[in-house]
Amino acid sequence: MADQDTPLPSPWKTGMAGRCPRCGEGRLFEGFLKVRPSCSACGLDFAFADSADGPAVFIMLIAGFAVLGAALYVEIAYEPPIWLHLAIWLPLSIIVCLSMLRPMKGLAVALQYSNKAEEGRLDKR
């Protein structure tokens, strides 16, 4: 179990690898995207982990820019039929989005932990 003096592992390394943000040893996910209740190595409670739609939005923007740019280039350079566009770009979009989703969600959870992010509250003075 990590104490206050021990530096945290890199949130980039632990998040992208799907490991515990505190110890870097235990697994973060059970299944494809479901976050485990706690770390099996250090016991950190993952109840704080709520990445919401953040990772999905970033992935759609990144993958959409890359795939759409490639599709436009192919259309202008080669003018293939529409069925060929669908056969190439639809599966590629799905593969790119699904391959990036788990690492980005892990990164979001690790950054939440390392930055001590919490839900916003109104100051009632």
pLDDT of residue 122: 85
pLDDT of residue 6: 76
pLDDT tens, residue by residue, 75-85: 999 999 999 99
Q: What's the whole-number mean pLDDT along residues 99-122?
A: 92
Q: What's the whole-number mean pLDDT along residues 24-48?
A: 94
**Full residue range of the structural domain in which residue 53 is found:** 11-114
- CA of 26: how far to CAs of 19, 22, 35, 52, 88, in Å? 6, 9, 12, 22, 38
pLDDT of residue 124: 82
pLDDT of residue 118: 83
pLDDT of residue 86: 97
pLDDT of residue 123: 82
pLDDT of residue 4: 62
Cα 81 from Cα 85, distance rounded (Å)? 7
What is the pTM assigned to this prediction? 0.86
How many domains is the chain partitioned into structurally?
Answer: 1
Cα 82 from Cα 4, distance rounded (Å)? 58
Give DSSP secondary structure letters for the chain. ---TTSPPPPHHHHHHHTB-TTTS-SBSBSSSSPBPSB-TTT--BGGG---TTHHHHHHHHHHHHHHHHHHHHHHHHH---HHHHHHHHHHHHHHHHHHHHHHHHHHHHHHHHHTT---------
- 36, 27 contact by CB (below 8 A): yes
Q: What's the whole-number mean pLDDT along residues 2-27?
A: 88
Quick check: is 63 in a domain?
Answer: yes
pLDDT of 5 > 90? The answer is no
Quick check: is 64 in a domain?
Answer: yes
pLDDT of residue 3: 53
Quick check: is 62 in a domain?
Answer: yes
Quick check: is 6 in a domain?
Answer: no
- 110, 17 contact by CB (below 8 A): no
